[in-house]
Amino acid sequence: MSKLDPRPNYKGPLHSWDTLNQQLKSTFNQPGDNFLVIDFRKFSIPKEEIIAEAEKQGYKVSLHEDHYLKFE
């Protein structure tokens, strides 16, 4: 008998601009040194489009590991 369950595969819908916007607002409306890290593979929006729009709106965006974007 295995000690672990089989690795789950995410089968849900991909996130949209609305989800990203809500996450950013929630993070940056709090006091302190805030940043948000997202897995861009879970979004229906291309990575380059996310970066371009976020930078246009004043966020500093950097690649954080292989599949993550860090917003500051």
Are 41 and 52 in contact by the 8 Å Cβ rule? The answer is no
Q: What is the pLDDT of residue 65?
A: 87
Q: Is 66 exposed, middle or buried (0-12, 13-18, 19+ CB in 10 A)?
A: exposed
- Tokens encoding 58: 């004043």
Reported pTM = 0.81
Residue that the structure tokens 């601009």 belong to: 17
**Distance between CA atoms of residues 64 and 72, nearest Å:** 12
In tens digits, what is the pLDDT along the chain, a chain of 72 residues?
Answer: 778 888 877 777 899 999 999 999 999 998 887 999 999 999 999 999 999 999 999 999 999 889 999 999
Q: Whose CA is closest to 45, among 28, 20, 10? A: 20
